[in-house]
Amino acid sequence: MSMRPLRNLRIRGLYAITPDSQNTNDLLDGTQQALTGGAQVIQYRNKSADKVLRKEQAGLLLQLCRQHEIPLIINDHIELAIEIGADGVHVGRDDISISTARKLLPPGKIIGASCYNNLESALEAEKQGADYVAFGAFYPSTTKPDAIPVSINLVNQARQIITKPIVGIGGIRLINAAVVIQNGCDAIAVCGDLFQAENIKVRAAQYARLFAGKL
Ligand SMILES: Cc1ncc(COP(=O)(O)OP(=O)(O)O)c(N)n1
Ligand SMILES: Cc1ncsc1CCOP(=O)(O)O
Ligand SMILES: [Mg+2]
């Protein structure tokens, strides 16, 4: 299997967001299952780990993602993304700007931007050089209970004017994912409904099937 860095990828399909976990073996096992089931992107998001644990977990996840030739995006921590040579970073309104991220990252890396419920932010993010824009939360999220809600209708509007891939996030479950995809999301970012599934591999494969013919 190749260990080459990944370049020029278009984000699409099941975008798995890792849960906060202090247990690195569990995290790796769950991510391995998500990858085997068909996740097309992994985001390392851990709001409770300290710096040492974050670096250890991110480094091991990168090795795993490389084996599957799937990109690893780091949430928030651009210095960590640079240090381990991850494939990109995801930034929100409390994080560094897209233009600063672009200056700091080596060429060809992926920058994703949270746009919440705001079309203008998405247009601006595209202008600043984001590789994908994310809207959400579409449904109540136990992973991020205070997330800003957004309507499905906004994706429809976004689809008309945004050319970069659109990621939908927030409370996405198997029963509501199809509508998010049908309304224009290229990828769906899922944490709880994937990593809390009894069989993560099977659940990932169920999500992957929603993109049949689109990947
Ligand atoms: C794919 C994706 N979309 C949105 C977010 C949320 O980012 P942000 O608003 O910065 O919130 P935190 O995740 O940092 O709590 C995301 N991480 N990934
Ligand atoms: C990071 C983030 N941003 C908006 S909702 C959310 C959490 C996504 O997790 P879940 O799929 O469990 O709702
Ligand atoms: Mg953030």
Give how many domains the chain has, as a whole number: 1
Asked whether residue 5 is domain-assigned, the answer is no
- Decide if 114 is catalytic: yes
Q: pLDDT tens, 145-169?
A: 999 999 999 999 999 999 999 999 9
Q: pLDDT tens, 134-147?
A: 999 999 999 999 99
The residue segments making up the domain with residue 149 are 13-209
Asked whether residue 215 is domain-assigned, the answer is no
Asked whether residue 61 is domain-assigned, the answer is yes
- Is the pLDDT at 1 greater than 60? The verdict is no
Pocket of ligand 2 (CB under 6 A): 17, 136-137, 141, 143-144, 147, 169-172, 190-193
Give, in order, the Cα–Cα distances in Å from 65 to each of 108, 188, 201.
17, 18, 15
Q: What does the alpha-carbon distance between residue 39 and residue 41 come to, in Å, rounded to a whole number?
A: 6
Element (H, E) at 1: none
> What is the CATH number for 185?
3.20.20.70
Asked whether residue 4 is domain-assigned, the answer is no
- Is the pLDDT at 102 greater than 60? The verdict is yes
Q: Which two tokens stand for residue 181?
A: 């995809």
Asked whether residue 40 is domain-assigned, the answer is yes
- What ligand is nearest to the CA atom of residue 187? 1
What is the interface pTM, i.e. ipTM, of the complex? 0.99
- Decide if 144 is catalytic: yes
What pTM value is reported for the model?
A: 0.97
Asked whether residue 192 is domain-assigned, the answer is yes
